């Protein structure tokens, strides 16, 4: 279903950024090739023309390489537009990378949906958008085997709690936005 | 005279704390806009995406 526009291309020199020291190191472990998928990724991209959407399209390959055990669905611009029309609260937020947590569904029953999304469309600076994407993928890789990844999102990405507040005020969160 | 300066200092202190709290709230709000766990509205989106997968309208991407 991927159109030519959504096919990944190698990143250009202009768009590469240094991976920040904020990123955590993934614990050393051996991956089981037959490990069940933890996430289902969906990319909703209605086709806005701009540096950030283009940058995401160029780096899609990295997501599939880093999370090659998880199915990754790329919606065409027509399919994305259908979703946006049906759910207008998403307009202006795409490209959206939606990660459905299959582990959460398995634990609590198939009727409940668990997961999180990254609204890259609200980013204006392509370098910061790439930084955020890398940070997000790093977070998912590090916490892939976590039982409660949603609580880690709240603690570490939303900077909840006292420590988080200190970090936000120190400017740690500002560098992500 | 002392009491006036105390009042002014306290007022500025309260103002500073309020400004810090407001800034903290705004930055956290922006972080939540950027990435968040699925809420009730998003769950409906996932249900629609599930339907698309179920009907074969979207298939897993395979890099060339």
What are the chain A neighbours of B62 within 8 Å (beta carbons)? 64
The closest CB to that of A122, out of B23, B33, B52, belongs to: B33
Read off the pLDDT of residues B8-37 as tens digits, 9 standing for 90 and up: 999 999 999 998 888 888 887 888 888 777
Is the CB of residue B55 less than 8 Å away from at least one CB of chain A? Answer: no
- The pairs formed by A11-18 with CB atoms below 8 angstroms and a separation of 24 or more are A11/A55, A11/A58, A11/A59, A11/A62, A11/A130, A12/A58, A15/A55, A15/A58, A15/A59, A15/A126, A15/A127, A15/A130, A16/A130, A17/A127, A17/A130, A17/A131, A17/A134
Cβ–Cβ below 8 Å for A87 and B45: yes
Is the CB of residue B53 less than 8 Å away from at least one CB of chain A? Answer: yes
Cβ–Cβ below 8 Å for B64 and A7: yes
pLDDT of residue B22: 87
pTM for this one? 0.70
ipTM for this prediction = 0.72
Is the CB of residue B45 less than 8 Å away from at least one CB of chain A? Answer: yes
pLDDT-flagged residues of chain A (< 50):
1-21, 28-33, 110, 173, 176-177
Is the CB of residue B54 less than 8 Å away from at least one CB of chain A? Answer: no
Read off the pLDDT of residues B47-56 as tens digits, 9 standing for 90 and up: 899 889 998 8
pLDDT of residue A23: 55
pLDDT of residue A55: 86
pLDDT of residue B13: 92
Cβ–Cβ below 8 Å for A168 and B27: yes
Cβ–Cβ below 8 Å for B37 and A150: yes
Cβ–Cβ below 8 Å for A113 and B46: yes
């Amino acid at each position: 279903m991927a159109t030519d526009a959504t096919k990944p291309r190698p990143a250009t020199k202009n768009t590469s950024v240094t991976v920040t020291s904020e990123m955590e190191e993934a614990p050393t472990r051996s991956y089981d090739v037959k490990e069940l998928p933890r996430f289902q990724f969906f990319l909703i991209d209605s086709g806005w023309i701009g540096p950030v959407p283009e940058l995401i399209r160029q780096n899609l390959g990295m997501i599939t390489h880093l999370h090659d055990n998880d199915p990754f669905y790329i919606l065409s611009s027509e399919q994305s537009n259908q979703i946006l029309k049906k759910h207008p609260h998403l307009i202006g937020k795409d490209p959206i990378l939606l990660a459905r947590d299959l582990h959460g569904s398995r634990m609590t029953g198939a009727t409940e949906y668990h997961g999180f999304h990254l609204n890259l469309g609200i980013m204006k600076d392509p370098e910061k958008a790439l930084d955020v994407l890398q940070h997000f993928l790093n977070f998912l890789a590090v916490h892939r085997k976590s039982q409660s990844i949603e609580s880690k999102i709240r603690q570490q990405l939303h900077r909840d709690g006292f420590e988080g507040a200190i970090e936000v005020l120190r400017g740690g969160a500002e560098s992500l936005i | 005279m002392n009491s006036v300066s105390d009042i002014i200092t306290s007022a500025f202190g309260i103002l500073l704390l309020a400004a810090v709290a407001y800034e903290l709230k705004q930055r956290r709000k922006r972080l939540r806009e950027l990435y968040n766990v699925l809420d009730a509205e998003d769950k409906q989106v996932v249900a629609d995406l599930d339907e698309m997968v179920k009907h074969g309208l979207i298939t897993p991407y395979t890099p060339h």
